[in-house]
Amino acid sequence: MSVRQAPVYQQGGERPQVDDDSDVEEEALANDYREQQAYEDGEDYDLNRSMSLGSGPQDLQAQLQAAATPLEYQATIDTKIQSYDSYCNLFHFILNSEGPVDIEVPSYYWAWDVIDEFIYQFNSFCSYRQRLAYQQSTTQVNEEEVNVLRENPNAWGCYSVLNVLYSLIQRSQISEQLAARKRGEDPAPYAGEYGSRSLYQMLGYFSIIGLLRVHCLLGDFSLALKTLDDIELNKKAMFARVMAANFTTYYYVGFSYMMMHRYADALRAF
């Protein structure tokens, strides 16, 4: 499955509703996910950087556990790039295997940890790269690290990170499933071969929250809120069952409203 394309969103739109008393079990994402556009840079971000995983479920489970484990704070740049390659390896295998990967996620906490750590490392690496760029005009710059960055220009690039999140959402057909639940329909007919597996369901679902976070980090607060356009923020939503995901969702929704000077909405979210 190619991940070179991502959906087009319209700016603006009504705010997501903050409703603690809603009876909606799950929420639907906007149908805008079905619309796609090719990124204009022409780079190939289909996650083909690394070798394939072993075919055994134990190997994949070990890779998922590693992906959910926080990277050491003082990790070297080589370790950070190796971590990026490992994520590319993992997601490429999950998205492009012949048929769905046959493994059960132990809990939705695990799926959240994978997405959360993936985005955290992206954010951390971008901050590191920017800090190193500012130091190039001084004598403090580490030429060896600069050369490593030049040799790996696409490592932890925003396009590749966004493409992973969009691809997990599209492959799992989680948007269609949530929309069906909201209409009171059985989501099973909309799940497809991949979306019926808990691995794809959970990774796809938490990728939605991941998109909110990434678009905030990129400074597009209107688009960040647009990812939750049809989501009612309430205690029965799946993200509310994971404390870290619940905190992340409300924090970035509130922060987006603040940056858009919609302070009443921000207070409601916080």
d(CA 213, CA 79): 24
Asked if residue 99 is part of any domain, the answer here is yes
How far does CA 266 lie from the centroid of its chain?
A: 23
Asked if residue 21 is part of any domain, the answer here is no
Asked if residue 209 is part of any domain, the answer here is yes
Q: Domains in the chain: how many in total?
A: 1
Strands (E), 10-124: 37-38
Please, which residues have CB within 8 angstroms of residue 50's CB and are 6 or more apart in sequence? Answer: 85, 86, 88, 89, 92
Asked if residue 247 is part of any domain, the answer here is no
Please, which residues have CB within 8 angstroms of residue 169's CB and are 6 or more apart in sequence? Answer: 29, 33, 175, 204, 207, 208, 211
Q: How far is CA 232 from CA 28, 130, 168, 251, in A?
A: 9, 36, 21, 15
Domain that holds residue 113: 55-218
Asked if residue 173 is part of any domain, the answer here is yes
Asked if residue 95 is part of any domain, the answer here is yes
pLDDT, one tens digit for every residue, the chain (270 residues):
444 344 433 334 454 555 544 333 333 333 333 333 333 333 333 444 444 454 455 677 787 878 888 888 788 889 999 999 999 989 999 999 888 888 776 677 888 999 999 999 999 999 888 888 777 666 667 778 888 888 888 899 999 999 999 999 999 998 888 888 888 888 888 888 888 888 899 999 999 999 999 999 999 999 999 888 767 778 878 888 889 989 999 999 999 999 999 989 888 888
Q: How far is CA 86 from CA 52, 82, 206, in A?
A: 10, 6, 19
**Tens digit of pLDDT for each residue in 30-51?**
333 333 333 333 333 344 444 4
113-145 as b/e, with b when 16 or more CB fall inside 10 Å?
A: bbbbbbbebbeebbebbeebeeeeeeeeeeeeb
Q: For residue 229, which phi and psi values (nearest 5 degrees)?
A: -55, -40
Length of the chain: 270
Asked if residue 185 is part of any domain, the answer here is yes
**Tokens for 48?**
């083909």
Asked if residue 8 is part of any domain, the answer here is no
